[in-house]
DNA sequence: CCTGCAGA
DNA sequence: TCTGCAGGG
């Protein structure tokens, strides 16, 4: 969760074809967490193998990655490193919230309140170290590269946008605060989604460029970070009471320094979870590293071992995925004997 | 989220 | 060919 700039910005709708042959630095935690929350049965139970290990993240990662590669998009997954001190308070709060949600989910499930149970289940998602390791193992087997960030994955991904990497792939706007020049959202193969009203809503890939955001809002990158701090970020999730996107924008436009903003009437009584100056500094200069990675060939036996042998995936479905993967790679590097 | 199937 | 739905692990 983080900053919601969607109310202020109209993202540009694009298609997968606009990302042909482009590398995307995909925020791995964001993506896996999304899978874990969403890939569930009606009552909120995640997919599990016969030993009771959750497998939702592997299912999502496998099929999503194949879909990207079928569209000749080149994903590089970026994992989180060491948790920054700024996040430790929020992290323990989230753990507590997760545990409460888990208890309520069990209760509602037993009472047969299926849809209420589902929404609690999504809030109870916990990405464990084992899940992360297995995800990396699957990516290795698929020949898909990943890098480990020194600190926040979003920050690392943001720093990679440039010559090789076209954009950050994430649902989370925070990568813009970390200075990503470009991000893309909704990297899903589905074209529609059920809306709350009951109908279906069209969903398309969205492209957001930092330069355009700053132009449209008429703020600097630094001021965008201040907006985040006012609205709430991972490092001060409560933000300032009563300040949403519009008020935040108005306030930052009227000031030249964070110090001045903190003295504003609306802001000055706020108890921040962390020193706002430190939050500002972290967004503007996060720990990132030069990284190297390369795309490899898929090891089909290893993929089958991870998914079918170890976690009870249907061999038929996995094989059909492998077939798609193979054709995707063939079209990327057409051989001399291919008829095109 | 995803695939695969049924029925239009 | 498209859309909606069930079930995946």
CATH 3.40.50.1010 maps onto chain A at 1-217
Confidence of residue A142 (pLDDT cuts 50, 70, 90): very high
CATH classification (class only), A1-217? alpha beta
| Closest by CA position to A10, among listed A177, A158, A206 | A206
- Give yes or no for residue A332 having a pLDDT over 80: no
- Give yes or no for residue A3 having a pLDDT over 90: no
Task: Tell me what the pLDDT averaged over chain A comes to.
Answer: 95
Segment A209-264, tens digit of pLDDT: 999 999 999 999 999 999 999 999 999 999 999 999 999 999 999 999 999 999 99
CATH number for region A218-279: 1.10.150.20
Confidence of residue A52 (pLDDT cuts 50, 70, 90): very high
**What are the C-alpha distances in Å from A304 to residues A57, A145, A151?**
16, 19, 32
Average pLDDT over residues A98-112: 97
Q: What is the pLDDT of residue A192?
A: 84
Q: What is the Cβ-side half-sphere exposure of residue A299, based on CA atoms within 13 angstroms? A: 11
Q: What is the pLDDT of residue A189?
A: 85
Helix axes A221-231, A276-284, angle to 10 degrees: 140
Residue A129, token pair as written in the block: 């170290």
List the A41 CA – C7 C1' distance (angstroms).
Answer: 8
Q: What is the pLDDT of residue A337?
A: 47
List the A208 CA – C3 C1' distance (angstroms).
Answer: 30
Of A319 and A195, the one with more pLDDT = A319
- Give yes or no for residue A176 having a pLDDT over 90: yes
Secondary-structure percent of chain A, ordered helix, strand, coil, rounded to 5: 50, 15, 40
Segment A299-309, tens digit of pLDDT: 999 999 999 99
Q: Long-range pairs for A89-94 at CB < 8 Å and ≥24 separation?
A: A89/A273, A89/A274, A90/A234, A90/A235, A90/A237, A90/A273, A93/A237
Confidence of residue A334 (pLDDT cuts 50, 70, 90): low
CB-count exposure of residue A192 (10 Å: 0-12, 13-18, 19+): exposed
Q: What is the pLDDT of residue A59?
A: 98
Average pLDDT over residues A267-289: 98
**In chain A, % of residues over pLDDT 90:** 91
Of A326 and A199, the one with more pLDDT = A326
* Backbone φ, ψ for residue A189 (5° rounding): -80, -20
CATH 1.10.150.20 maps onto chain A at 218-279
- Give yes or no for residue A336 having a pLDDT over 80: no
Residue A45 CB in 7 A reach of strand B: no
Within residues 51-110 of protein chain A, the ones with CB less than 7 A from nucleic strand B are: 59-60, 63-64, 66-67
Within residues 256-285 of protein chain A, the ones with CB less than 7 A from nucleic strand B are: none
Q: What is the pLDDT of residue A333?
A: 65
| Closest by CA position to A298, among listed A94, A139, A154, A155 | A139
Residue A321 CB in 7 A reach of strand B: yes
């Amino acid at each position: 969760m983080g900053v919601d700039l969607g109310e202020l910005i109209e993202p540009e709708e694009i298609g997968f074809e606009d990302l042909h042959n482009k590398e995307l630095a995909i925020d791995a935690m964001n993506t896996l967490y999304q899978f874990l929350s969403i890939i569930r049965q009606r009552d909120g139970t995640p997919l599990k193998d016969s030993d009771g290990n959750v497998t939702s993240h592997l299912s999502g990662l496998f099929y999503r990655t194949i879909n990207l590669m079928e569209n000749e998009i080149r994903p590089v997954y970026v994992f989180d490193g060491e948790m920054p001190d700024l996040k430790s308070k929020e992290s323990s709060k989230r753990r507590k919230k997760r545990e409460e949600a888990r208890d309520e989910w069990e209760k509602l499930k037993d009472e047969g309140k299926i849809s209420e149970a589902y929404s609690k289940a999504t809030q109870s998602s916990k990405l464990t170290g084992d899940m992360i390791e297995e995800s990396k193992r699957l990516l290795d087997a698929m020949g898909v590269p990943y890098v480990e960030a020194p600190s926040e994955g979003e920050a690392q991904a943001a720093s990679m946008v440039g010559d090789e990497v076209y954009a950050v792939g994430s649902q989370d706007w925070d990568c813009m605060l970390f200075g990503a020049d470009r991000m893309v959202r909704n990297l899903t193969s589905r074209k529609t989604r059920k809306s709350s009203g009951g109908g279906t809503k069209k969903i398309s890939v969205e492209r957001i460029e930092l330069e355009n955001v700053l132009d449209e809002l008429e703020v600097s990158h630094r001021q965008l970070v201040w907006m985040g701090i006012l609205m709430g970020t991972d490092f001060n999730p409560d933000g300032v009471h009563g300040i949403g996107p519009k008020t935040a924008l108005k306030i930052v436009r009227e000031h030249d320094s964070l110090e001045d903003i903190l003295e504003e009437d609306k802001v000055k009584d706020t108890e921040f979870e962390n020193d706002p100056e430190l939050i500002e500094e972290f967004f503007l200069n996060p720990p990132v590293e030069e990284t190297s990675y390369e795309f490899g060939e898929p090891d089909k036996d290893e993929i089958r071992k991870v998914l079918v042998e170890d976690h009870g995936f249907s061999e038929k479905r996995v094989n059909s995925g492998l077939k798609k993967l193979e054709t995707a790679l063939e079209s990327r590097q057409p051989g001399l004997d291919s008829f095109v």
